[in-house]
Structures are given as structure tokens and as C-alpha cells.
Amino acid sequence: MRGVASASGDRAPIRQRPGRAAGGGRTDRRSGHVDCRHRVGSRSDRCDPRLASMPARSRRSDRPAGLERGPRPRSPATAILAPYVPAAYPEKEPPSMTDPSTTPVRVRFAPSPTGALHVGGARTALFTWLFAHGEAKRAGRDGTFVLRIEDTDRNRLVPGATEAIFDVLAWFGLTWQEGPDVGGPHGPYVQSERADLYREHAEGLIAAGHAYRCFCTPERLAEVRREQEARKEPTGYDRRCRGLAGEEVAARLAAGERSVVRFAMPLDGETRFVDLIRGEIVYQNATLEDLVLLKGDGFPTYHLANVVDDHLMAITHITRGPEWIPSAPLHVRLYDAFGWAMPVLAHMPLILAPGGGKLSKRHGATAMEEFRSQGYLPEALANYLVLLGWSFDATTELFSREDLLEKFSLERVSASPATFDYAKLRWFNKQYINHVLGLDDLTARVVPFLAAAGLVDPAAADAGHPDFARLRPAVALLKDRIETLDEAPELLGYFLRDEADPYDPTLLIPKKLGLEETLDALLAVERTLEEVDLGDEAATEARFRALADELGLKPGQLFMPIRVAVTGRTQTAGLFETMRVIGRERCLGRVAAAAGVLRRHGDEALSADD
């Protein structure tokens, strides 16, 4: 048993892998070796004793009733819903905790208003939301999803970004119970409004010897780094100010010298924590830095703000992107320095760009707002995104929001990075448009895109609006052909305008047919159109098939010129249903126009020949 607290509470020594003595190791997540993080002799009931003592396999049947549904979870056999895992090392008696089976689950999504919301962030938000509202509730726990704005970087602040995040999150179908706009018992929910809190906590850490004032200038830091690089040493702050005498600090402070607050990382030993989806991760403290907690401008860094807020807001599970794993040991140490209970950590898997690396504009849309304006449905995007790193079983792929609330579990989230596949997203979007959405729903959703192209009234999304009634039958015909909503103007335009789309006259002439014959056919079509009832598709089709016969043409040879004349395109829905929806008057006008166009085209061709 490596790195595992046994049932009796004994801590087995961690064996370092040969050749990696300075590095970390981790407990295998599948073996169920989970460090309950108690010091020797501490109360072992903080970890479910069954979990601590039983072999991994037999544990699974011992899960709480609410966690048994669906396929077996594949992450470490941590009691995932026991939130207050005591701080992660043995020097200190962990704080007492409330009954894990009834403690409400509180999670948060904490974007930074430095720009548009990225898909990766949105997926983290989705997983987090599903955990609170699905998994937690299934286990009989209250689940609260908190929205917090992390705007402590005053330089990168983008005006309007916060509102844009609210907006796109709402579009994505994520609701928050506490947040800047809705308030809540743990506010304010905007970090810039909590600056005093962070300062006080930083002072507390200094007083307790866990942090110190650092007067080193950015210039000196850069110089230190240069020297380290030149000597090929690991780079990092050299801790020059760590040993400063109290009097000197006071004097320099009094002199108004600018300073930051740094955390005093233990110089040796190790820091370990359990990542819910990866298992235990161990860091050697010697490799960790004295990171800045409070910046020169008085604002906290992410590290301080995050820990203070998560604790004050009673967050039980920290879900965030994988880029935070390397700073997790600092956070663990901070919780301990404050004497606070450590929330459960769960770092989501990375989303990679098609060629590898980070997803960027070069590959396509990256911001949620872009996906929205490109005509992706929020439910399709959610369905695609949830499957990027999570799966329910071997075959299910379409999940409604309700399905997800019923089936999603953080434990089945994969640790390995996933490549973003635009083609597959597109497929999901098609699935929802073609087969999931009802006709009225789809009609309403297409309206903003058509309105932007000036094709319908923006108010037409209302089913009572006359444009809605005009639009709906056309949408019915093109439903199976729309992949993204932004294609609507292109696909539906000729139903909404009086004329057909502009087209190349030669498209009117079918294969193996001359211009004259085509013109004759078109004139015959015009006459036939006069006498036919377009509302009766079957009869119309029969009549036109007969006409083809009379003209000595194959049906297809007749239908294509009609299609082009009536729509301006070679690819449409069924010809007769299309004509029905366009209506006789407009069809007649368009066929007549086509005949005219063809005649002129023929004249031009003749004169060109001369």
C-alpha cells in the first residue's frame, strides 16, 4: 500500500520512484488507494472507515444509494460527496467537520472578466452545474451553484465582459443561485469589492508567520531570473525578503516603499492532495515557490482570493481547469495556514486544439459568443461538450438536460485531455435541428438570424406573428438540411422574398437538352402551373410527370429546370412541396422570368457567336 492511510490510521511511507526523488508520485487512482489525510491516531471516521479499509473493488457496492446509478465510476474511491476533507498533511489536527452525508454541496464558477467566455470554461461550468444540481441532489444533498467574478487583475479588465458572461451563461442554460446580480448570503460576489477581506487575511498570515512582506522590485526579480537562467538553475524567487527583520519591514513600510505579500512555503517535506479525477498528487515542497498573495496594488492574486472566497463562501468542491494543478499545493498550504477545511479538488481535463496545443481562433470559434452567433444550439453545444471528457456508457450519445442531471457524475470524468472536434460538434447541432427540436421551436430560433438578414420581422419569433406563420412551412421543408442556424437566410431566403435567388441561366438547361427545348419545356410548365392545384402535391406531381412524358423528357430532366426557375438553386427540398409553399403566383412569375432569362441568354450566345 503506497501512500495510503490504513484503516488504523497509520500512514505508510511514500516510496519515491527511483530517479524521481525530487519529484512527485501519486497513488494509483484505480487501486482505490486514497489518502484520507489523517495524522496517526486521528479520528478515522472522517474518512468512511469502510472506504479506508476495504479493497477497491468491494467498496463500490458500498456507495451511498444516490451514487449507485449508471456505470461504475472510474475515479478513485474517494467519498466524493464528503466535502470537508481535512487539510492535507499530518502536522496538524484537522478541523472538525459536519456530517458529510447531509452537508449541502456548494460549488462555484469563477470566471475572470478579461474577455469572452471560452468553451473550456463553459464546459467546466457545465460539469460544475451538473454536479450541484444533478449528482449532489441525487445523493440527497442540497446543491448550490455560485457565480463569482474574479476581477483582481485590474490591468486586463475588459469593460462589459461581466455582463457578456452573464448573458452567454444564461444562453447556455446555466443558472446560478448566488452571484453578483442575484446576491446571496455570502456576497459580495465580485472580488474587487472584497479587497479589504483579502488584505486582512494576508495580514493574518503574516502575523502567524505564514507569509511575509517582500520589497523586491520587478526589475530585481527579472535580474534574478536572468542570472538563474545563465547558470542553468531552476528559476524562481530567491526568497531574499523572507528573513527580513520586523523592524526593517516596519521601517520600509513606514517609508512608503512598495511591497507585496508572499507565502512562506515550507522548505522541505511534501504537500499532497487528492484530485477527484486523478487520484493523489504529491509535490516536494523544495520545488515550490513563495508565490505572491497580495500584489503591489493591494489586490490579491488568484491564489489568495480564491482560497479566502471559497472558504468564506463555504465552497465544498473546487472544480476548475487543469492549469490550476501546479498551484494546488499552494492552495492546500494556504488552507492549512488558515486552519480551514480543504474542499474537494477536481481539475477538469484539458481541451486541446485539433493540431495539439491550446484551442485558439486559428482553429475556429473558441468563445461561447462565437458559437452562438454561428448558429449552434446551446443544447447541442452542451451535449457535445459534456462528452468531451465524460461518458455515461459505451453507446449513449444524445443527452437532454434532464438526462444529464440524472446521469452525470464527476467521478466518470476522464483525466486525459480531449481534442476539440468541430465536425462532431456540427453533427450534434444537426441532430438537434433535424431530429430533436420541434418545428415551432426551430422556427422561433431561426428568426434572429433571418431578421439580421432583413428577411423577417425581429418579432417573428412569436408564434402569433404573421411572419411566423409564413416562415414555419418553409422551415418544415428545410429542417433536415439546416446544420447551423446561421445558414437559415441562405436556405430560406427564396421562400421569404418574391423572387428566386439569382442564378446562372445555364443551370436551367438540364443534361442532354438544348436551350430551345428547355425554353419550350418552361413555357409548357407555365401553362401547366395555371391549371394545377399546388396544394395537392400528389396530383401536381402526377401532372408534371405526365408533362415530362408528353415532352419526351425524363422526370428529372423536367424537374431540374423547374427547380432552378422557382428557387434559383439546384439543391432544394422536394420540388412539389417547395412549390406548394412558395405558392402559385410566385411560381408562375419565377417560371416566366426564367423563360425570359433563358431567351435573352440564347440571344446573347447567338450574337457572341457572330
Partner RNA sequence: GCCCCCAUAGUCUAGCGGCCCAGGACGUCACCCUUUCAAGGUGAAGAUCGCGGGUUCGAAUCCCGCUGGGGGUACCA
> Is residue 576 near RNA by the rule CB under 7 A?
yes
- Answer for which of 43, 92, 435, 497 binds RNA (CB under 7 A) is 435
User: What are the strands of the beta sheet with 317-320, ordered from one edge?
Assistant: 143-147, 105-109, 317-320, 344-347, 270-275, 279-284
Considering the complex, what minimum distance in angstroms separates the CB of residue 571 from RNA? 4
Q: What does the per-residue mask of binding to RNA show for 27-56, with x meaning CB under 7 A?
A: -xxxx------------------------x
> Is residue 68 near RNA by the rule CB under 7 A?
no
> Is residue 72 near RNA by the rule CB under 7 A?
yes
Query: Within 13 Å and on the Cβ side, how many CA atoms surround 297?
Result: 8
* CA distances in angstroms from 256 to 200, 212, 244, listed in the order given: 19, 16, 17
Q: What does the per-residue mask of binding to RNA show for 340-379, with x meaning CB under 7 A?
A: ---------xx-x---xxx---------------------
- Answer for which of 55, 185, 209, 234 binds RNA (CB under 7 A) is 234
**CB-wise, 216 or 452, nearer to RNA?**
216
Taking 3-state DSSP, the helix, strand and coil percentages for the chain, each rounded to the nearest 5, stand at 50, 10, 40
Considering the complex, what minimum distance in angstroms separates the CB of residue 459 from RNA? 29
> Is residue 299 near RNA by the rule CB under 7 A?
yes
> Is residue 297 near RNA by the rule CB under 7 A?
yes
Residue span binding RNA (CB under 7 A) among the ranges 97-105, 240-248, 551-559, 599-607: 551-559
Residue span binding RNA (CB under 7 A) among the ranges 99-107, 133-141, 150-158, 460-468: 150-158
Contacts 24+ apart (CB under 8 A), 493-496: 493/453, 493/455, 494/567, 494/568, 494/569, 494/582, 495/470, 495/471, 495/581, 495/582, 496/450, 496/455, 496/456, 496/470, 496/471
- Answer for which of 26, 123, 213, 590 binds RNA (CB under 7 A) is 26
- Answer for which of 150, 178, 310, 486 binds RNA (CB under 7 A) is 150
Taking the C-alpha atoms of residue 587 and residue 322, their distance in angstroms, rounded to an integer, is: 58
Considering the complex, what minimum distance in angstroms separates the CB of residue 420 from RNA? 7
- Residue 445 contacts residue 466 (beta carbons within 8 Å): no
**CB-wise, 103 or 409, nearer to RNA?**
409
Taking the C-alpha atoms of residue 339 and residue 274, their distance in angstroms, rounded to an integer, is: 18
- Answer for which of 44, 192, 235, 528 binds RNA (CB under 7 A) is 235
Question: What sign does the CA torsion over 227, 232, 234, 239 have?
Answer: negative
Q: How many helices (H) and strands (E) does the chain have?
A: 22, 11
| Residues belonging to the active site | 361
> Is residue 552 near RNA by the rule CB under 7 A?
no
Output the CA angle 296-299-305, nearest 5 degrees: 130
Q: Which of residues 437-466 bind RNA (CB under 7 A)?
A: none
Pairing verdict, β 211-214 and 105-109? unpaired
Task: Please give the backbone phi and psi of residue 272, each rounded to the nearest 5 degrees, phi first.
Answer: -125, 150
Task: Please give the backbone phi and psi of residue 539, each rounded to the nearest 5 degrees, phi first.
Answer: -65, -40
Count of residues interacting with RNA (CB under 7 A) = 106
- Answer for which of 53, 101, 434, 528 binds RNA (CB under 7 A) is 434
- Answer for which of 13, 19, 55, 552 binds RNA (CB under 7 A) is 19
Taking the C-alpha atoms of residue 399 and residue 379, their distance in angstroms, rounded to an integer, is: 9
Q: Which of residues 474-493 bind RNA (CB under 7 A)?
A: 480-481
DSSP state of 434: I
> Is residue 171 near RNA by the rule CB under 7 A?
no
Taking the C-alpha atoms of residue 327 and residue 277, their distance in angstroms, rounded to an integer, is: 17
Q: Which of residues 380-419 bind RNA (CB under 7 A)?
A: 387-389, 391, 393-395, 397, 412, 414-419
User: What are the strands of the beta sheet with 292-294, ordered from one edge?
Assistant: 211-214, 260-263, 292-294
Residue span binding RNA (CB under 7 A) among the ranges 39-47, 132-140, 297-305, 519-527: 297-305
Q: Which of residues 78-117 bind RNA (CB under 7 A)?
A: 110, 112, 114
Taking the C-alpha atoms of residue 186 and residue 178, their distance in angstroms, rounded to an integer, is: 8
Considering the complex, what minimum distance in angstroms separates the CB of residue 109 from RNA? 11
**CB-wise, 104 or 503, nearer to RNA?**
503
Measured from the Cβ of residue 142, the count of other Cβ atoms closer than 10 Å reads: 12
In the beta sheet, which residues pair with residue 383? none
Q: Which of residues 518-547 bind RNA (CB under 7 A)?
A: 541
- Answer for which of 37, 63, 141, 430 binds RNA (CB under 7 A) is 430
> Is residue 260 near RNA by the rule CB under 7 A?
yes
**CB-wise, 183 or 556, nearer to RNA?**
556
Q: Which of residues 315-334 bind RNA (CB under 7 A)?
A: 322-327
Q: Which of residues 212-231 bind RNA (CB under 7 A)?
A: 216-218, 221, 225
Taking the C-alpha atoms of residue 378 and residue 472, their distance in angstroms, rounded to an integer, is: 21
